[in-house]
Structures are given as structure tokens and as C-alpha cells.
Amino acid sequence: MIEGELGIWKVFSDGHKEEVYVKKNLIIRLAKLQLLSALYDPAFVQDRITTFKLGTGGSIDPLGQFPKPENGEQTNLITPQISVATSYVSYPLEVKVTYLADLDQSQGNGLSITEAGLFKASGAIFNVKNFPAIPKTSEFGLHFEWSIKAV
């Protein structure tokens, strides 16, 4: 089984971090198939995770307090707004990888961010998570850590 967890922190100019959100996420069905293909299909072509997207369509209410349920068949975010490159750290003994992405204080201001997704170099979505709105302002940046682990 594969599970994911998304953590989001506000990062202030003095270096102080404040946890905003940490929860399990949905691994898209196609991503599970691709992971298994990488193990069992000798002709499998690797398609690395390279991009972190953030959007504003992940809630069912205008204030963004109630996240929409994720859909295992999604091919994109509901309302994508920002794309940033992601890096990763692997933990081989834990069979875990953590993808990292950051918005600085100048990015995404004025958006009420409610959804995030990891995307492959081909543009295919790997996983998605909707969460309560984070109204982004120039007072803080956002740091994301998205862990994927075999359990």
C-alpha cells in the first residue's frame, strides 16, 4: 500500500515557521498503476515528479472552510493557479520520499489556496489534496512537504 501526507507551513521573514495543515492525501489511481508498472514492466519509461501546483478550487463554500472530496480520476487541479518546481529528499530505509516546494512572500498574494497536487514531467497528476483555505498575503511565504511512503 502507498500513502501520502501533505504538510503546509507559513514561513515569516524572521525565519519563524507556523504549521497550517498536516493530513493524509489521495494517491491518484493512475499513479498507483504507474508505480506498479515501474516494478513489473521492463519497458516502463520513468516519468519523474517535477512540479507542485496550487489552486483555488478545492472547497465547496466561498470562504474555503469545507474542502471538496478528492477524486481518484482527476487529471488536474480544479482551478490551478501557480506552478513551482519541486525537489525531493529520499529515505531509503523508510521506503519514503518527501517532495519540497516553496512560495516566497511575493508569490500567490491575494489567492485563497485550497488545493495542491504533485505533477510529473509529462504533465500527468500524481496526487492531490484539498484543504481549508489559506489566504496568501505578502506577510509570509508557504513551505510544503509532501511525503509518499510504502506501508
DSSP string, 76-113: S-SSEEEEEE-EEEEEGGGTEEEEEEEE-TTSSTT-EE
| Tens digits of pLDDT across the chain (151 residues) | 677 899 999 999 999 999 999 998 766 666 655 655 555 566 656 778 899 999 999 999 988 899 999 887 889 999 999 999 999 898 878 878 899 999 999 999 999 999 999 999 989 888 889 999 999 999 999 999 998 887 6
Residue 42: per-residue pLDDT = 66
Which three cell numbers, joined as nine digits, stand for 113? 489556496
Using CA atoms, how far apart are residues 49 and 97, in angstroms rounded to an integer? Answer: 11
- The domain ranges of the chain are 2-150
> What's the whole-model pTM score?
0.86
